[in-house]
Chain A
Amino acid sequence: MSILAYETKGIGRGLETAAAWLLGALWILPLAYALWTAFHPGEFSTPLVLSAPLTLETFVRAWHAAPFARYFANTVLLCTMILAAQLVLCTLAAYAFARFEFPGRNLLFALVLVQLMIMPDVLIVENYRTMGALGLRDTILAIGLPYMASAFGIFLLRQTFKSVPKELDEAARVEGCTPLQVLWKVYVPLARPVYIAYALVSVSYHWNNFLWPLIITNSVESRPLTVGLQVFSATDQGIDWSIITAATLLTTAPLLIAFLLFQRQFVQSFMRAGIK
């Protein structure tokens, strides 16, 4: 007797498979349609003609229609900067919460968790004011700053560090390691899968983030891809859909290709980040 007792058979199984596939088709449809439109000349966006010629020209035109190279550079810089800061800040804070006794620890941890509910995304009005006071408006640093101390990252790493056996910590200290050396030599290497998971989640979040960058940036020099795409498709193009979808795919491509190549790791990372 095994779990196979619950494998559905016959018509029930057929119906379920059909339903699952229908849902799958619905879920892949927008991407499939975007691919179809982008690889065909504009006049074939509608109606659907299966014999339409394939072209890459839409991508070339989209690429030259807006400073996408600059937007790409901005987004890469933004994601790298945020991730680097997050890894350092969250590691140090998580280490403090996991392995140090100090007054106010529980209160401070509760204050950190506040950010899980009240994310920087909803504090746009005040953060815009703060960035003005700091003289940082319209810079890439200003997009990233509110996200660098991540409650999610601190929480995730704290859980991981707590599961590291205390004996390893003590052994390293007996060897004469300072607390920071212990962190670097014992905790960080053991938490590697969690770091990878967190990095993937963080990069895909900030690659896709839109509202705050839209508000705080005002020029080509600081705009990330999402905002650049919106400025481009809202103003320049009228209704040339093949160009817009080509631009849309261009901005999504790196993440999408990475996802297709490393699908298993991606999914596992998201799963790992979600398990408390």
Chain B
Amino acid sequence: MIRAKTWAYGWLLLLPAATLLALFTHYPAAATLWHSFFSTPKSARAAAYVGIDNYQQLVVDPIFWQALSNNLWFAAGTIPLSIMLALLMAVWVNGKIAGRGFLRLAYFTPTVMPMIAVANIWLFFYTPEYGLLEQISGALGLPAHNWLGSKSTALACLMAVTVWKEAGFFMIFYLAALQQMSPHLAEAAAIEGASRWYLFRRVTFPLLMPTTLFVLVNAVINAFRLVDHIVVMTRGGPDNATSLLLYYIYEIGFRFWDSAYAAALTIVLLTLLALVAIGQFWFLERKVHYQ
């Protein structure tokens, strides 16, 4: 009797959160899969079952492949760089460096600013003719270049904004981990005559592994989730050179109103995220034993 009461209590406590989670996370994930096998309802006719038509369309859609490859390049370009910078920043502001307070502030500032505000400012940096970047390169006698307007540089420009935005955020987690680390480790290493680099490579970095994993997973999710700056800076252009997966879903779903095709695209994104999750668990099982 008592046990049944505890069960009921537990379930009741869970009920409000579970309802909302089911309604806005689990149901939409399942419904996306379901709707990806139907056509988009138009005013005249209802949605009809079309089998894997939407996925066949996806396979032959060059813009989808471009958005996917853009996204993978975007991830490859932003994730390692922002994590390395974050670690470097954390090591610096953890030590006794001149102006430590200011540096912490400077590194962390991008995190509290909305991506959309940040993108507005960076947009001005990249503006042709009178943007800051053009003024600097002009003063150095370099030829004029339309940074966001040319296919070769637009994606790299967006990557720069993302690295700038994320590195400071990740720094916080490294800083927290470094501050919890015992000073005896460095003392012991010093007694053994280990170099500073050796200490970092063989002691500090391995001990930071759980933090790195946490940061890495967040970075991967963000690489597929954060598209605010694309809406502001390039709208996926020029010629889809900066279209990322989620931005393409947004465009298909809310500018062309093709919800069925957008559902099929969402399934691709969800699959990618699921792979990240599985990879994380696999990695956790095997590699990280330090906690």
Contact = CB atoms under 8 A, between A and B. Distances in A.
B140 interface: no
B135 A241 contact: no
A30 B122 contact: yes
B27 A96 contact: no
B50 to A, nearest CB: 17
A27 B118 contact: no
Interface stretch (B55-63, B104-112, B150-158): B104-112
Contact of A33 (B20, B24, B121, B254): B121
A16 B92 contact: yes
B132 A33 contact: yes
Contact of A117 (B98, B186, B274): B274
Nearest to A28: B106
Among A28, A48, A101, A145, the most chain B Cβ lie within 10 Å of the Cβ of A28
Given A100-B6, A274-B214, A151 B21 contact: yes
A270 B108 CA distance: 11
B10 A101 contact: yes
Contact of A102 (B6, B25, B110): B6
A120 B270 CA distance: 11
Given A24-B102, A215-B250, A115 B25 contact: yes
Contact of A3 (B11, B25, B180, B183): B183
Contact of A6 (B117, B131, B177, B190): B190
B276 A154 contact: no
B219 interface: no
B97 to A, nearest CB: 6
B32 A145 contact: no
Contacts, number: 286
Contacts of A115: 21, 25
A37 B274 CA distance: 44
A119 B225 contact: yes
A248 interface: yes
B199 interface: yes
A265 interface: no
A230 to B, nearest CB: 6
Interface in A113-167: 114-115, 117-130, 145-146, 148-149, 151, 154
Nearest to B8: A102
Nearest to A200: B112
Given A115-B25, A245-B120, A274 B109 contact: no
A125 B130 contact: no
A34 interface: yes
A27 B13 contact: no
Contacts of B214: 274, 276
Nearest to B274: A117
B266 A125 contact: yes
Interface string A193-234: 000000000001001101100110000000001100110011
A230 B118 contact: no
7 contacts: A24-B99, A46-B131, A47-B135, A119-B225, A208-B115, A210-B228, A248-B121
